A = this chain, B = another copy of it.
Amino acid sequence: MSQTLEQRIQQLEDRQGLQEVITDYLIAVDALESVEDILNVFTEDAVFDMSGINYPSFAGKPALREFFTGVFAQMTHHAHYATNFKVDAIDGDTAKCRTHVIGMGKTLGGDNVLFYLQYHLGYRRTAQGWKIQSFRGKALMPL
């Protein structure tokens, strides 16, 4: 069945909105200025699972706040580059997406970290737009 123009515009806007959430996340992660800007992209019950890259896994904004407060205290520089954004499914008010990410940083101690990853993302549509409900990191290259 053919779609209306409005439905086709909505799909283009959804795709753009979903990608913008991860862009906003990475801009905030790299600015290293505001943990709240990072939390703003997540739902209250968000699951953050970095066990695939030897980082912790946890759920909920309080745990996210604690984690990123620790990251901000430890890192002097961050640079994350997301590409290959793919919408795998949109089903009403939920969506699943993937994106490749090159992530790097420098610690207070002067160590450099570098990751070649793919994020697997679950989204929920809220009154404030699309938010990340699950966030899982997968290593593409050996850690």
Closest to A8 in B: B9
Residue in A13, A77, A86, A141 whose Cβ sees the most chain B Cβ within 10 Å: A141
Instruction: Say yes or no for A83: interface residue by CB 8 A criterion.
Output: yes
Instruction: Out of B77, B78, B81, name the residue touching A83 (CB < 8 Å).
Output: B81
Instruction: Say yes or no for A84: interface residue by CB 8 A criterion.
Output: yes
User: In the complex, which residues of chain B have a beta carbon less than 8 angstroms from the beta carbon of A116?
Assistant: 79, 104
Stretch of A15-23, A40-48, A57-65 on the interface side: A15-23
Contact B82 A84 (CB under 8 A): yes
Instruction: Out of B15, B30, B79, name the residue touching A16 (CB < 8 Å).
Output: B15
Q: How far is the CA of A10 from the CA of B142 in the complex (A)?
A: 41
Contact B77 A142 (CB under 8 A): yes
Residue in A27, A84, A141 whose Cβ sees the most chain B Cβ within 10 Å: A84
